[in-house]
Structure 1
Amino acid sequence: MEKRPPACPRQAWMEDSSSQESRSPGLQLPSSYEVTTMQPLKLDASWLPIYKEEQEAVDSILAFVTSPNKEERDKDTFLQSISVLCRSALNHGLTQGLDLFCDMYQLAENIKALLEEEPRDQLCTDLRHLSMLALEKLSLVDTVLESKAKSLLRACFSSVFWLPAEKEMPKADLALYIKTLNSMDSMLRTMVLSFPASRVSEELQGILELLLDFTRCEREAVRERAMARIDVLARVLSDYSTLQANANARRGTAGPVCSGEIQLPLLGKLLGRLILFRFSEEQTSCAAFHALFALAEFISTSSLVGKSRSPTLAGPSSACSKKLFLMPS
C-alpha cells in the first residue's frame, strides 16, 4: 500500500528526528544554541627568506589584508610596509618567494582597491603618493605585476588625472600634488624598465593606448596630465639606446632589449595626436613639444642599431622630424 505524506510535515520531521536520536545515542543535538568565539586566523610568513630581516613589515601587511576594518593610518602603514619589504629584499638579495607572497595576499589588488576608493574631487592624504611608491617597488619583484600593469596604471591615472585643476586646488594641497605626480612618473619609468624584454613592446603599447584615451577627455586638466605622462615615456625611450629590461630567465628574457626591437603599431597615431596638441593653445602644447622631440630621438636611435627599420617605426627622418616639431606654433 502506498504511503501517504503526513498532514503535518513539520511535526512528522520532528518525530522522525526524535526517533533517529533514540536509535543513535552517540549523536547528540544541543538542547540550546551555544555562543562560540571564533579565533582569528593567524597567518605564518616565516617561510620567507626576508622574514627575519623585515618581520615587522611582513606582519603589518598580513594584519592589513586580514582586517575587516581598515583605518587611514592602517592603509599608510600597509603601503609603506610593502615599499620597505621589497626594497629590503632587493638590497639583501632575498627576493626568493616574495612574488608568491605578493600574489597569495593580493598586494597589487589591494593597492588598486585603495586607489579606487579615493575621492576624485580632493587630494587630502598621502595615499596616492604611497600607493605609487609601493607599486614602483613591486614592479621590481619578478612576475608580481605580470598582466596587471595596465589595470593598475588605469587606477593610478584615474585617481590623479580627475583631480581638480592645479589652479583650483587649495594651496595647502599643491606640495602633495607635485609629490604625487613625481612618484607617478618615477613609477612609470621603473615599471617600463622592469618589463621582461619579451613583453616591453606589448606593455608600452598598452600604456600609451591608455594615456591616449585620457587625452580625448573634455577636461583640459585631464588632457594636460595625460600628455605629460606621454612625455615621460617618450623620454624613457629616447634616453636609453638600450632599454635595460631585467634579464631574468624565469621571465623569459634573454637579455636587454634594443630600442630597434621595440614595436609600437600605434606610433603613427601617437605622433598625429602629439602634433595636434603641439599646435594647440592649451598647456598641453609644451608637453607635446618635448614628447615629439624625444620620439624623434628614439626613431633616430632605432634606425642606427644595425637592424632594418620596422614598418611600425617608419616615419620622417630624424632631421626632418626635428624641423617639423620645432616649428613655432
Structure 2
Amino acid sequence: MVKAVRMHQVGGPEVMVYEEVALGKLGPGDVLVRHKACGLNYIDVYFRTGLYPQALPAGLGMEGAGIVEAVGEGVTYVAVGDRVAYAGRPVGAYAEARIMPADTLVRLPDSISFETAAAMMLQGLTVQYLFHRTFALQGGETILFHAAAGGVGLIACQWARAIGVTMIGTVGSDEKAALAKAHGCAHVINYNTENFVERVKEITGGKGVPVVYDSIGKDTFINSLDCLSPLGMMVSFGNASGAVPPFSLNELASRGSLFITRPSLMSYTAKRSDLETMAAHLFSMVESGKVKIDIHQRYPLSEVAQAHQDLEARKTTGSTILIP
C-alpha cells in the first residue's frame, strides 16, 4: 500500500482525498516508480472538475520524477535503479509510488534533480513542441504569449530569448510583469491595466504577430485573433479561464485567412522517438543554462487541496511541485 491522492467525485479541491491505495502487480512492459517529486499543472484542474472526464474513483497528476524500483517482463527502456521522469498519461502522479508503462518514461541526466524534473517535464515539453513543431520558430519573429509568468510562461520567456525570438507576454499584475521581464520577456503587458490588442499593434507597428500562444481560453480568445497578422496562427493550448465558446469560421476569414490549432502534449509525444527527441532537447536547454526552472511553490502531497486553491486563484508563479 502507498499513499496517493484520489477523487471519488468531480468538483472543487475538497474532492481530493489523501488515502492508502494498493499498487497492484506489474504487467509486461510495466515499471514501478518511487516518486521523489510530482508536478502540479493546470490540466490537473480540468480532470478534477470533470472538464476532462475519466472513470471514478481516479487519481490525479500527469508529471513526476523518481527511481525505478521494479520492472515487468520485456522492459528495455529503463532498469531498476534508474533515475526517471515523465509527463502525460496515464493520470495518477499524485502518489508516493505508482506503476507506469515503461515507454512513457525517460532517463533523467544526473545533472538534473528530481525536483527540477518534476517541475519542468510537462511545462518544458509543452514549450518545446509549441516553439519547434506547432509553429516552428526560426528566430527573428515577434510572438504573443499569454500567462507569461506562469510555469509554462517563464520557460517560454527564456526559450524565446535563447532562440532569438522577441516575446510579448501578458500577465495579471505588476509583480508578475517584473518576473516575466526578468526571465527574458521583451515586452510585458498587464492585461488588467492595458488593452493587450492595442499594445501588440503598437509594439509591432500595426502589423500584428505571426503566432499567438494562448492557454487562457475564453477570456482572451477573440482578442488574441485581433493580434494576428494575416495568415497568422492561433495556438489555443489551454482553458484556464474556461473553454473557448463556439465561434464562426468567418472570424478567421475576416481577419486575413487565419489558422487555428488546439494541440496537446500527448499527441506530440505519442511516438517514443518523438518523446526521446523532445526530452533530449529540453534537457540540453536546461543543462546549458539557457533555461532555468524556477520552483516558486512546494507543498507536501498531503496538502494538495491548498496547492489547487492557490493555482486557481492565480497566486502561484513559475513551477509548483508536490513532495510525497
The structure whose residues are more often helix, as a share, is 1
Task: Report the TM-score, using the length of structure 1 for normalisation.
Answer: 0.21
Q: TM-score, normalised by structure 2?
A: 0.21
